[in-house]
Amino acid sequence: MKQRVGLVGAGLMGHGIALNILRHGHALVVLEHPGNQPLGELEALGARTAPSGTQLAAQSDVVILCVTGAPQVESVLCDADGVLEGLQRDAIVVDCSTSLPTTSVRMDAAVQAAGGKFVDAPMTRTAAEARAGKLNLLVGGDVQTLERVLPLLRCFAENVTHAGPVGAGHRLKLLHNFVSLGCIALISEAAGHALSSGIAPDVFVNVLASGGGAGVALNRISPVVLDREAAGMQFSMSNALKDLRYYTGMVGDARGADEIARAVAQTLERTLGTLAPHALVSDLVHALAERNRRAANA
């Protein structure tokens, strides 16, 4: 059954989600926002826009959020003229942002009080997979709500994993991103030392690929090491740092071990301080190599 879908956040990831929703024949309205990608491609497929969250929600059976983090999720839903003011009875809010589990639990209560249902469904993979309709979604929420929205999610997701109750999707996403970013940071630091000490980039990559460094992280970072090509790593360092801080906050609330995560976050924070605000995670390799060269020449 075709649904009326509202999307908040047609940025790098959200644009691909929107494209696949339209390709599958669903009606789509997008919140007007300066952070959106150009909407011409979506409008050519029939997408409409709304100036406020209230007006968007009033036209939607399902509202998908794809915003930066927990403060933006809460603002979009709860602010004056926000989504909750226009939410239709029994509508479903799907939060695909990277947020905090505690925020998801609070937003679930707020959405239910407004007469709707809520699931957290953060994404893994990249903007290329979003455009191809091959994201991974990690869903927190009750099974009945997931079953209702699952056909829509499958428009833009190859794999949908039910992680548990509301908040479990974001808990699992933060665990995933810690592992992913941690591996990338580790390889980047090693690559920085290789480049600054005269090890040939192709030799470094080949040795890791045929040994203990093989895997997704190396596949994503090796084009940067070899050719400074960052097409596969369009993820900002500031967002990566935000995700790691969310992770350490979550683990800190449970009084768990977080020494490695804090070290990775410190590396990103220190490096970002020397780069442009919109630097990418892929910039870490050559920034660390340059830091090593300066230290050696000091």
Active site residues: 173
- Alpha carbon separation from 142 to 139, 150, 218, 264 (Å, rounded): 9, 12, 36, 34
Cβ atoms of 119 and 146 within 8 Å: the answer is yes
Burial 58-84 (b: 16+ CB within 10 A, else e): bbbbbbbbbbbbbebbbebbbeeebbb
Residue 30 CB neighbours (<10 A): 23
Sign of CA dihedral 214, 219, 222, 227: positive
89 class by beta-carbon count within 10 Å (0-12 exposed, 13-18 middle, 19+ buried) = exposed
